[in-house]
A and B are shown apart, each in its own frame.
Chain A
């Protein structure tokens, strides 16, 4: 491969991003710009998208260092609402802990926690209406828990057992819960983005009042579907909220590989003519306030909003991942925006509406509720222990009606099973 050097020009060089800290490095997040709580302005929901540049590079924060709610974005929620959000977030964490352990015990093949990101889904769901449609990625289990999806149903799916209404067809955590406005999760990243826009366009074209919300990680914003979704949304002013959960990591790739060295993810919205907000994703009140604002903008036909939730993925990407191989172990604790549950808890305590004893008692109660649900779910079986679905059900649902070629393959499978002495029945 020949290079073509000209004497009067320096050679070009390729920039390959590199995270600040690797395993063993001391962590110092001083370079992360964290504006003071309450310092970011709250625009009118009808403002033009082009006026959002400062917000797209700023950070909406409500909870300050003294655990007070301050500034124009304070949603002024009642103590009951705050306690419910705190409880939901604690429930998500308890659920994650238990299911992570279940995977380690070999009861299922796979799990993904959202530790440190609980405020993103709980804050948003609390601000949406119950019938608004959510198009989540795989790390928004908080939506289901806060909308009241029975834990047993979620666990049945994780165990692919007799009670799994997805009939064991989906990888654990790829839930589908139409009754809770929770779209079927796909393994293919960001495909839900244009789908959410389509749902929102359909709602608008029918004169409905419901809106759509969708989530993806910062890594997934690099997918082409992200671009197509934002283009469609701006063209048709679709009533949709785009959430980008910037947790700094896409498996082992730091956010620089999605373009974060040069700009923010919220800033991308501005180029599309979409309102862009950047919020402290570990501040449940900021997430609530931004979602409430974006929902009002969507519901009044002012169009879409993109919210970047600036947060940190406190644990591994999944049960198949070991983050100590690519990042410093000191990062989660050094993260300047802290822990979302602790911050909301301390706020409620500062208000005199909560205390450590009640919190500890609630944690215990939630852990027991999760354990009880797990016990109940395991009555329906765990992965690998026996045949939980009829063998031939694997052909169900490919089409509305089974065509001849699937009926033939189904019959052949059953005949082979029988001819070989019914090995599946023996298990």
Chain B
């Protein structure tokens, strides 16, 4: 983990919720301008406990509950940013971020550009996202493609507690607006896609070892979680763990790249990997058409065309709303990734 800038020190085992909580705690202690706001984040500490204890520690003017109005939460955060604060608003589920799209896309993302740099929106929007929890249509979505399509906004998705804390600190300190999507399926443990087997927790995973103090994981840097020669797997969030499990089971020497931030994207790592392996598989939970995988596929095709030995494979959610009872048919799990692997490795 050479790309981090750890100053302290003692590490301990944390799950992703604790790591996210720790990130906000650390930044709030360092910068009085950081404030946390959202539905149920104050006294209660958040429906996922991500803000537990922060109001008691930093007071009600820095950590507070809001009315249930997503456009209001983001609009108010933009105004606070214009004043000079560094707001960290929470949208309870990414599925409920749509009422705030106008404020995010038309305002936060463009404020620096349209004002010649006079006003900026240094806000970090935290929001639990992704499926695998029987969340049905409105507690499972992965809308990252909406934000990567909008210029002026950064999109970050961690896959481990260590990364979650380091990336969130970097996002909050970043002077541009950041959408920070937290894969809620892996809040408590690294999910390998086998929904019918006992859940794991973070206690044995190296990414569950988290420094207690301040460190950053730089935005725009991917993490090669497994080096390999046979093919490149591009993924992020929950799918990093699913891909690792499937690759291990298949016994294929794949290189697995956890993108960590989608915008800015670590194109160098992607390009170097695909040029080495000659094959590329892209995996995300979000629906397929115009999803972020389409952008990744186009970039790889443009930049690695003469190195490609097989068509690029995309394993994604289907182009349907996220279903409840048929969740494991929809989710790009071991079966679907396995079939794609066979296809892409057919002539290898």
Residues on A lying within 8 angstroms of B by beta carbon are: 133, 135, 165-167, 169-170, 174, 176-178, 183-184, 186-188, 191, 193-203, 205-206, 212, 224-225, 227-229, 231-232, 235, 397-400, 403-405
| B110 shortest CB reach to chain A, Å | 8
Query: Of A176, A205, A235, which one neighbours B62 at CB under 8 angstroms?
Result: A205
Query: Of A183, A205, A398, which one neighbours B82 at CB under 8 angstroms?
Result: A183
Bound CA–CA A55/B191 (angstroms):
60
Q: Which residues of B contact A188 (CB under 8 A)?
A: 102, 106-107
Is the CB–CB distance between B71 and A194 below 8 Å? yes
Residues on B lying within 8 angstroms of A by beta carbon are: 35, 61-62, 66-67, 69, 71-72, 74-85, 87, 99, 102-103, 106-107, 110-120, 151-152, 154, 174-176, 220, 263-265, 267
Bound CA–CA A329/B75 (angstroms):
39
Give 9 A-B contacts (CB < 8 Å), ordered by A residue.
A170-B114, A186-B107, A191-B102, A194-B78, A198-B87, A205-B61, A235-B67, A399-B152, A399-B176
Is the CB–CB distance between A229 and B264 below 8 Å? no
| B158 shortest CB reach to chain A, Å | 19
Is the CB–CB distance between B111 and A405 below 8 Å? no
Bound CA–CA A235/B84 (angstroms):
22
Is the CB–CB distance between A232 and B69 below 8 Å? yes
Is the CB–CB distance between A225 and B75 below 8 Å? yes
Query: Of A169, A201, A227, A405, which one neighbours B113 at CB under 8 angstroms?
Result: A169
Query: Given the known A-B contacts A203-B83, A400-B175, are A232 and B76 also in contact in the complex, defined by CB atoms under 8 Å?
Result: yes
Q: Which residues of A contact B116 (CB under 8 A)?
A: 165-167, 169, 176, 397
Q: Which residues of A contact B103 (CB under 8 A)?
A: 191, 194, 225
Main secondary structure of the interface of B (DSSP, over half): mixed
Q: Which residues of B contact A400 (CB under 8 A)?
A: 112, 120, 174-176
Is the CB–CB distance between A198 and B106 below 8 Å? no
Q: Which residues of A contact B83 (CB under 8 A)?
A: 133, 198-199, 202-203, 206
Q: Which residues of A contact B79 (CB under 8 A)?
A: 135, 194-202, 212
Bound CA–CA A225/B82 (angstroms):
17
Is the CB–CB distance between A228 and B119 below 8 Å? no
8 closest cross-chain pairs (CB), A and B: A198-B79, A194-B75, A228-B72, A198-B76, A195-B79, A202-B83, A184-B115, A403-B264
Is the CB–CB distance between A195 and B82 below 8 Å? yes
Query: Of A195, A212, A232, A403, which one neighbours B78 at CB under 8 angstroms?
Result: A195
Q: Which residues of A contact B84 (CB under 8 A)?
A: 202
